[in-house]
Amino acid sequence: MNIPNFPECDHTLVQSLHHLSDQELVSLFKRHSESGRYFTAIFCRYSPIVYSLIRHSARSPVQAEYLFALTWRHILHELGGVQCPAPGDDNAPQSSFTLQNWVINITALCINQAVVPEVEAIHYSIDQASPPFWCYVEQALDHLPAIERLVMVMALTFRWSENRIAAYLQAEGETLNAAEVRQTLIRAQQHLEVALPEDIRAIYLDQMPTAVVPSLGDDTLDQLLEVPELAGIAVDRQPSS
């Protein structure tokens, strides 16, 4: 079994954190919620273990990649509540706790409980969007104005034309025409990139090879927004008007 190669692990922002302990990384992650490098460093440290566990349980490589991404999204959501005692702190209430064991337990939970679609329904690819980048793009989507988020999902996930989007919005009480839909989509892409943590933009958009992530334009967003579960979440959070 080959463990995927993640170029972000060689980025200088991530390399500079390699000497930190798990406790220090978790503490920095909590203190600097506006940054993405600490979660990315944890991802690089434990992704081989997580991927190995998932690959042995998944029926196909495609499903393994998808479950791998979902697992890291769950880890990101839960990491803020982790109490990670410093090494040698015998007075800590969970002195036997280790981040590695916690990550393994979260992975086992996702393996046992996550609903993984059939291969045909999965469009996620690690080569197109590494899990940390995917996670932070999803978070950035939540910061967009509702109309921008809705237009982006309709255009890039469901591939609706500008005229069809305009007709749908007009039926819902909006007044955008096709030209305004296009401008809304352009603004949404710009706002999405700004909403990403600065270090995530540096790691994934500035330094990685263009063959992996050329820009946060239509092609990249198309891959990110085609993941079925992400697309469903984005649409479900829209108001009806």
Other Cβ atoms less than 10 A from the Cβ of 227: the count is 24
Which H or E run includes 28? helix 22-31
Q: Give the dihedral sign, CA 215/220/225/229.
A: negative
**Tens digit of pLDDT for each residue in 5-39?**
999 999 999 999 999 999 999 999 999 999 999 99
**Tens digit of pLDDT for each residue in 102-142?**
999 999 999 999 888 899 888 888 988 899 999 999 999 99
Integer Cα distance of 23 and 78 in angstroms: 15
**Tens digit of pLDDT for each residue in 199-235?**
999 999 985 443 333 344 555 555 555 544 443 333 2
**Tens digit of pLDDT for each residue in 158-206?**
889 999 999 999 999 999 999 999 999 999 999 999 999 999 999 999 8
For the chain, strand residue ranges (E) read none
Instruction: Give the pLDDT of residue 158.
Output: 84
> What is the average pLDDT across 138-148?
93
**Closest of 87, 112, 111, 108 to residue 97, by C-alpha:** 87
Integer Cα distance of 177 and 78 in angstroms: 41
**Closest of 102, 134, 35, 114 to residue 71, by C-alpha:** 114
What's the predicted TM-score (pTM) here? Answer: 0.81
Instruction: Give the pLDDT of residue 241.
Output: 32
